Amino acid sequence: MNESELLWGILFGAIGLGMFVYGRRQRTVAPFVCGLALMGFPYFVSDTLMLVIIGIALILGGLFVRFG
């Protein structure tokens, strides 16, 4: 793991924590699930470009998809 992967992982984890807390308090499924995914996926992705692409997709998914 290099420095850029670590910093991107920390950034996406912090955004994921915020989305998780927001989704739990508002009782909305999309931010809750995307927040959990944002906190966990950096452990499984080792390529920096894929890390950024997946992270941005999860953020956009949590913001624009409404499941409830």
Give, for all 68 residues of the chain, the pLDDT tens digit: 689 999 999 999 999 999 999 999 999 999 999 999 999 999 999 899 999 999 999 999 998 887 65
Q: What angle do CA 6, 13, 53 make, to 5 degrees?
A: 75
**Element at 47 (helix H, strand E):** none
- Residues 59 and 26: their CA atoms lie apart, in Å, by 17
Q: Which domain holds residue 8?
A: 3-64
- Closest C-alpha to 37, from 63, 22, 19, 53: 19
Instruction: Say how many domains are in the chain.
Output: 1
**Quick check: 17 and 35 in contact, CB under 8 A?**
yes
